Amino acid sequence: MSIKHHAQELTEAGLDCALKAGAVAYCSRHEEILCDKRDPEANDRAYAIATNAVKAGEVSGPREELLDAVKTVIDTAASGCPYCSAAR
Ligand SMILES: [Zn+2]
């Protein structure tokens, strides 16, 4: 597996964890816009889900890598949908 492929897999797994936890969510009207829900409890839940996914062997590599990926997903998510806020 190439390094690039692994990074892609990590990003997708991180996104999956963040979505499952409700830490981030796609805008209900613009499915390409990922929004940060700004919920610290949901963020903690995302990290817990990531830890469990590594323990369960669903994601390969060290736990820190996936936790970093989750953090990146949350950090890079928009604070709100730019289209919806523009429409208001
Ligand atoms: Zn929107």
Check residue 85 and give its pLDDT.
Answer: 83
Each residue of 11-41: b (16+ CB within 10 Å) or e? Answer: bebbbbbbbebebbeebeeeeebbbbbeeee
Pick left, alpha or beta for residue 61 (phi over 0 → left; psi -120 to 50 → alpha; otherwise beta). Answer: left
Write out the two tokens for 69: 């990926």
Check residue 4 and give its pLDDT.
Answer: 77
Ligand 1 centroid, distance to 11 Cα (angstroms): 23
Residue in the structure block whose two tokens are 């829900």:
37
For CA atoms 14, 19, 23, 28, give the dihedral sign. Answer: positive
For the chain (length 88 residues), average pLDDT per consecutive 10? 80 97 96 96 98 94 95 96 81
Ligand 1 centroid, distance to 79 Cα (angstroms): 11
Domain spans of the chain, in order of start = 3-87
pTM: 0.89
Ligand 1 centroid, distance to 84 Cα (angstroms): 4
Check residue 44 and give its pLDDT.
Answer: 98
What's the fold here for domain 3-87? Arc Repressor Mutant, subunit A (1.10.10)
